[in-house]
A and B are shown apart, each in its own frame.
Chain A
Amino acid sequence: MTVKSLFFAFAAAFVLMSSPASAAEHYVNGIDANYPPFALVDKTGKPTGFDVDSMNWIAKKMGFTVEHRPMDWDGIIPSLLAKQIDMVCSGMSISPERKARVNFSEPYWNIRKYFLVQKGSALTKDELLKGKKKLGVQAGTNEAELLKQQAEKQGWNYELRFYESPPLAIEDLINGRIDGAAIDSAPADEAMNKGKKPIKVVGEFAEPDDFGVAVRKEDNALLEKINKGYALLKNDPYWEELKAKYINVK
């Protein structure tokens, strides 16, 4: 790469542009590509997953275009606020902290929290909580926070191990590096039903969680379109098709 071409690459990055005109409404959806089955990329890097397909369907029905941009989960809300993306439809739980900064659509998915152990294991939920066991969770999630707080209050004595994504926690569970995993039902169901992983559920913890689509506080028009879109989707046979394809709900 010559110095000259690099210079131009930089110059291009600084191009000043006037505020985007609204021709055909185009939105960018930021996704955490490490959250199957809701959001992931296929082998060729193409975004896919339950949330991606849902939003594609909604966009078509509501007459806007949507582009899914994989990015780091840690930067996803700042990116939304910084207008780098317009929405987050990527398995995001509705929490009071997040609600203070962004608006959420109506919940479109209700998720439960599972305690998982190896398939042949005799461990119970009680032993996981009080038997000084190693417990895997996804870093930066609501449940990781919750389990940390509850441990002090309830006198539970597990040792938390933090993972980048639920499948990594499941891998380590199967390898025997951790005794149990505390993760969302969606990736757990996917691993058990679709991935045929030798794991089983021994209990649930916390209240079921609701997934919603996050948008900036001022983007009421978009929020309305999304809410309407989900209402239509849930009454369409495609909803069942999606559930069967990604989540294997019986």
Chain B
Amino acid sequence: MQESILTICEAMPWILEGALITIGTVAAAMLLGLFLGVPMAIGQIYGNAATRGVIALYVWFFRGVPILVLLYLFYFGLVYQLNPLEFSLFGMQCSISLALSPFAASCIVLGLTSAAYQSQIFRGAINSLPSGQLKAARALGMRDFEAIASIILPQALRLSIPGWSNEYSILLKDSALVSVLGAMELMARTKAVATSTAEYTAFYVSAALLYFLITWIGLRGLRYAEKNFRIPGYSHL
């Protein structure tokens, strides 16, 4: 027992570094998903038929294809089929290679996937708002994008926080998949050290605790946000 704890202490710096990669991946994916998911939700509700179709196709694709497949397709398929990029500029032969780190590629793939899910969270939230909100804003002479930005989104984003907490937990679990690209995150490092020391139970318990801690801190943060932005008596749920 004492020996196990000693081993874990020695391995901790390396494993914690992996936890940072995990946290970074999840945070970047959440934000990318937010920045893409909000316009997608808006496009899917207020856009024309073509916009709605394209977004629906995107959502359908990213929800239907396993993340592992997406990681392979994007990283080994797409990026490196185009690499190095060769072209001629003013008669000069140029060759650039896109140095996309496994970490960045993981963030992008998880972010694009999360955008598909987050757009549906936001879409649900926007649809749950009474239609009179947009009507009232229009009746005052607001442009549609002003009305969406200052009336619809502030309310919809508040209503999205519970769905967001859910998405956070899911992304955290999905982040363990990115080790196929060579991003040695928390799970991959735990596995490697557990194998070499044969301290399976001890290391997997410590990984479980770390995941729990990351989940707890993230959910606390979101709950804080929910409280902070809470409007007295306001809820459509």
Measured CB to CB, the residues of B under 8 A from A are 7, 10-11, 13-15, 17, 24, 27-28, 31, 72, 75-76, 79-80, 83-84, 95-104, 107, 179-182, 184, 188-189, 191-193, 195-198, 200
Contacts and interface: CB of A to CB of B under 8 A. Distances in A.
Instruction: For the complex of A and B, list the 8 residue pairs with the smallest distance between their C-beta atoms, beginning with the closest.
Output: A45-B14, A13-B104, A33-B192, A71-B182, A75-B180, A40-B196, A82-B80, A78-B76
A44 B11 contact: yes
B27 A1 contact: yes
A48 to B, nearest CB: 8
A124 interface: no
Contact of B11 (A30, A40, A43, A70): A43
Interface of A: 1, 3, 6, 9-10, 13-19, 30, 33-36, 40-45, 48, 69-72, 74-75, 78-79, 81-85, 164-165, 167-168, 171, 195
B147 to A, nearest CB: 25
A75 B182 CA distance: 7
Nearest to A84: B182
Nearest to B102: A84
A19 B24 CA distance: 28
A165 B29 CA distance: 30
Contacts of B72: 75, 78
A69 B182 contact: yes
B10 A43 contact: yes
Contact of A43 (B76, B193, B200): B193
Q: Which of A6, A35, A171 has the most CB of B within 10 A?
A: A6
Contact of A45 (B11, B79, B181): B11
A41 B80 contact: no
Contact of B31 (A3, A44, A85): A3
A142 B191 CA distance: 21
Given A16-B98, A69-B182, A34 B191 contact: yes
Contacts of A3: 31
B104 A42 contact: no
Nearest to A7: B31
Given A71-B184, A78-B72, A13 B196 contact: no
A140 to B, nearest CB: 12
Contact of B99 (A17, A41, A42, A69): A17
Contact of B76 (A15, A40, A82, A195): A82
A146 B64 CA distance: 32
Nearest to B199: A43
A10 B104 contact: yes
A75 B189 contact: no
Nearest to A187: B195
A3 B17 CA distance: 21
B196 A79 contact: no
A164 B191 contact: yes
B180 A72 contact: yes
A48 B104 CA distance: 27
B102 to A, nearest CB: 7
Contacts of A36: 195-196
Contacts of A16: 96-99
A13 B107 CA distance: 10
A228 B98 CA distance: 33
A71 B179 contact: yes
Given A6-B28, A13-B104, A19 B76 contact: no
Contacts of B191: 33-34, 164-165
A41 to B, nearest CB: 5
A70 B187 CA distance: 13
A63 B72 CA distance: 34
Given A33-B188, A45-B13, 14 more contacts: A13-B103, A19-B97, A34-B195, A35-B195, A40-B196, A43-B10, A44-B14, A48-B196, A70-B192, A72-B181, A75-B180, A75-B181, A79-B76, A81-B76
